């Protein structure tokens, strides 16, 4: 099964995890790294890299909030470090709750398919509701 890690501006990752647990009615199986404004990015890159490597050959899907922001840059650097060592890691940005729920309910063995399924789920979750009603 593909692991899920949220790397986001504090407190968004924890909030998404709590909300997903509320919606699903159970404790959710994911890791959260909330990046505080005064966080040391290099320390978080090292910590995330260690976390990704400690799960052996298990693929990981990392979800970030904003492309190009500090949490994304942390995830991108950690991804590079661990993929150079043979780990399978996918990184998607622009995370919304639909994506988190899709990732948790669709955790597939194939990380490529999961990554695309989560991306498509996000797009389907964006609806101009005044036109849909």
Residue 70, pLDDT score = 98
- Give the SS3 label for residue 37: coil
Residue 108 in this model has a pLDDT that exceeds 80: no
Collect all residues with Cβ–Cβ distance below 8 Å to 16 and sequence separation of at least 6: 6, 8, 32, 95, 97, 100
Residue 8 in this model has a pLDDT that exceeds 90: yes
Average pLDDT, rounded, for the chain: 93
Mean pLDDT calculated for residue range 26-51: 97
Within 10 Å of residue 66's Cβ, how many Cβ atoms?
14
Residue 95, pLDDT score = 95
Could you give the percent of the chain with pLDDT greater than 70? 98
Of 10, 7, 24, 15, which is closest to residue 102 (Cα–Cα)?
Answer: 24
Beta strands per DSSP E along the chain: 3-9, 31-35, 60-64, 89-92
Write the pLDDT tens digit of every residue in 62-79: 999 999 999 999 999 999
Write the pLDDT tens digit of every residue in 77-100: 999 999 999 899 999 999 999 999
Residue 121, pLDDT score = 87
User: Domains of the chain: which residue ranges?
Assistant: 3-132
Per-residue CA distances from 27 to 31, 42, 69, 103, 104 (Å): 12, 30, 28, 14, 11
Q: 3-132 domain in CATH 3.30.540.10? A: no
pTM: 0.93
How many angstroms separate the CA atoms of 75 and 102, rounded? 20
Residue 132, pLDDT score = 62
């Amino acid at each position: 099964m593909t692991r899920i890690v949220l790397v986001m501006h504090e407190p968004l990752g924890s909030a998404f995890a709590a909300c997903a647990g509320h919606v699903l009615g159970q404790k959710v199986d994911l890791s959260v790294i909330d990046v505080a404004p005064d966080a040391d990015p290099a320390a978080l890159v090292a910590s995330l890299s260690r976390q990704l490597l400690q799960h052996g050959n298990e693929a990981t899907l990392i979800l970030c909030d904003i492309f190009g922001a500090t949490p994304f840059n942390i995830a991108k650097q950690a991804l590079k470090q661990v993929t150079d060592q043979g780990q399978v890691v996918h990184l998607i940005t622009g995370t919304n709750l639909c994506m988190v729920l899709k990732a948790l309910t669709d955790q597939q063995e194939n990380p490529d398919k999961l990554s695309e399924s989560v991306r498509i789920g996000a797009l389907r979750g964006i609806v101009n509701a005044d036109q849909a009603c």
